[in-house]
């Protein structure tokens, strides 16, 4: 039988891969539709140009802010190293990648701590 922590670890890694691929595909589509330079001002404008997109943008902003507060707190509590990777990938890939990546790294750290007991 697969242990639950091991299963979670692989689910988190799978979600990180999806969270990297799907937003990247959307960003490629944005560049194809609006020109070769990634116009961040236009991107933000389009992300807020109707009530549905405003709702999703605001939801992501508030939710990701709360998760980031927890990520910093949890990484200190578990004495995790290389948190900079999570922060960097949030801004270079997507929050949908970095949040599950953090959860995957957290599971690895918990495994390491349990082995060292």
pLDDT in tens, 14-38: 999 999 999 999 999 999 999 888 8
CA distance 30 to 16: 21
Report the pLDDT value the prediction gives residue 37, as an integer from 0 to 100: 87
To 10 degrees, the CA torsion angle through 54, 55, 56, 62? 100
Tens digits of residue pLDDT in 39-78: 999 999 999 999 999 999 999 999 999 999 999 999 999 9
- Decide if 98 contacts 11 (C-beta within 8 A): no
Domain ranges of the chain: 4-115
């Amino acid at each position: 039988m697969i242990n639950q922590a091991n299963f979670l670890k692989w689910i988190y890694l799978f979600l990180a891969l999806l969270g990297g691929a799907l937003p990247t595909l959307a960003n490629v589509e944005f560049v194809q539709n609006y020109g070769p330079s990634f116009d961040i001002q236009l991107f933000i404008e389009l992300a807020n140009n109707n009530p549905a997109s405003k709702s999703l943008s605001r939801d992501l902003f508030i939710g990701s802010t709360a998760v980031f507060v927890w990520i910093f707190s949890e990484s200190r509590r578990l004495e995790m190293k290389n948190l900079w990777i999570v922060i960097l990938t949030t801004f270079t890939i997507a929050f949908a990648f970095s949040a599950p990546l953090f959860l995957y790294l957290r599971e690895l750290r918990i495994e390491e701590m349990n082995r060292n007991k």
